[in-house]
Structure 1
Amino acid sequence: MRVLFVNENIGGHRSVHNNLRSSLVAHPDVEAEFLDVPKAAGFRRAVGTSVPGLGRLDLDLQALRAQLALSGWVRRRLRASMHRFDVVHVYTGNAGLRSADLLASMPSVVSTDATNVTNAYRLPNREPTRFTPRVIKAAQRWETPVYHSASLVVANTEWIARSLRADYAVPEERLRVFPFGIVAPGLADGPAPGVHAGDRLPQLVFVGHQLERKGALRLHRLHQQHLADECELVIVTSEPVPPGRNVRAVHDVTVGSGRLWEVLREAAMFVFPSQIDQAPNAVLEAMAAGLPVVGLQVAAMPDTVPESCGRLVEKDDDRALVAVLRQLVRDPALRAELGANARQRFASEYDAAISTARLVDTLNEARELFAGARSST
């Protein structure tokens, strides 16, 4: 089966396709080619620039303009090469905004971890306003045909599946729901996370950039006010970290180095109080390392982290966040139980080997559906 994987190639989408590349080795029947959208430059960069004044009101359609420019680049390449493939996979739907007709003309699968409806209120670089619903409607006019043209649509979480059903009227028979997993090293033979010799304090670990928007500075403040004498806060980031008592910054984690796993295995728990992330890979990595996860009841986090694997609190409830952190710091047996459950959940749901096998099955199903629909006309 010859498959073209179209990669929007922003943020965590790069990691998704790196994991796909690695795990497709187990599928010799798949002849894969990847179309990775390059970083915006020149015309694309100019088109996606915010408009002063209008941007502050969320009326400049910045995200949509950038998506249309990106999807125009994809359309030109897709139209030139699609005849060489048995099926095309587009991740996410934004990469196909200007290719709905092409997707309808061949077996195709569109997968997504977000929709423009869900994204509009979670963009890290701007706040929603009273005009945001108008922006959403403009985006939907382009986005809806993409989902309706694809042979099948994959939602990476049930949270996104609900948006696809309610906001885009994607029919249930063409909707599949499963996560895209990650590749993690085998860690089962190592010591349990957070188990140290001597009197070292338990470590709370945060991983990410945009520290303010992702809640790391809030976590830093609460740690200093309530928990600094009981645990160490470790912040893995490329950004400057404010100094503090029992606070440590880790700046030497690079992709593929293995350093992240060393940090995670030293930790007692993973804390991710972000209000803008939906189903971040960082949470999956922590679960793979056998860590309990503490986060917020936002987006797809309840789908990803059940109570058996960690604790989620209301997004603005500092008192509840401190309470669950203190509980887990003081209860190593509970940490061990939740961490073991998290590791097991990763192995059954979020291992890239499993999700890639599901995706390959879905691509084959799309081919069969397309052939069946064509023979019946």
Structure 2
Amino acid sequence: MSRPQDPHRPFFPFANPFKMMLPKGSYLSPRLLELLNNFEDALAERFRKLKPKDREEVLSLSWMTLAMELLCQTHTDIKSIITKLELPVCDWDDKWIDLYLDNTVKLLDICIAFSSELSRLNQGHVLLHCALHNLDASPSNQFVKACSSLDGWRHHISSKNRRLENCFGILDNLTETLNLPKVKKSAKGKVLMRAMYGVKVVTVFVCSIFAAAFSGSANRLVDLQVLESCLWAESFVDVQTYVNGEIRNIFSSGRVTVLKELEAVDTSVKKLYPTIQDGVGPIEVEALQNCTSDLGKRADMLSQGLDLLAKQVDGFFRIVLTGRDALLCNLRVDGGVPDPMREADNVEGRVVR
């Protein structure tokens, strides 16, 4: 006899952290309230901007680039809030610092995995370029080489990147730590923790989508339930419902590739391959030229899209790294900690360029 499905667990399984963080009757000065509201209003607008106007935009490289750009802006905002709060590091609770440092290491690892995958996908452009070069050479004996290059490309894009395997475990851990540390008697600390909550929500959301798209699996796509009192909650739920729903539809269709520009190239390859494999007669030359031209255009769009997205991922990496360095430098002034620049060099050295 089958068991009834367990109800969906609420996001906060034990307690609402904001009952501790912003308890009823807690007071925030007008300045602090304005600072928090401005941050949350900006985050709400970013979620609205992130909702695609058309379902075809979902998992396009241009949309993913926008998502990473908005994520970078949000992480830049939290650095600005920390500055405006004028909350010295010596006033930070040890739990905040430990959590922040632990989470930033995880984000850097995710960035390294994403950069590795984007680099791997872009390497396939060399195989496409070789195929196109051989097709332009005209003699039919070059078709064999073109077929070989296209075979190599299809094998390359269908292979798996082991660097992505750890992303889902990291995202699970980041999701668990959304339940924030308790804040005692510090209005500034409460503002900081609530703002960081928003940053972590958008981070988990965007990185979850990237991990699903790059790994080819929507099974671990994250569906977050967030605190309704946040000014960005409604717009977040709206975009999460729409985007995650569309991604699951894409995966359920059985597509080999889910990135839109990658899928477009794959479609051109599938159309071109049988033609050059069977040989081209005089009547089919024009059709071959059209197919080759179409593949060339789509391959260029894919390569350009991957380059732009890679730059945004690299920018996110550097924002997280510089924020971490700033905190470590301040801690080093207060007490002995490892040299942050040496640590930065070690982390950067792991990035796949």
Structure 1 or 2: larger helix share? Answer: 2
Normalized against structure 2, the TM-score is what? 0.24
The structure carrying a bigger strand percent of its residues is 1
* Highest RCO, 1 vs 2 (Cα 8 Å, sep ≥ 6): 2
TM-score, structure 1 normalization? 0.23
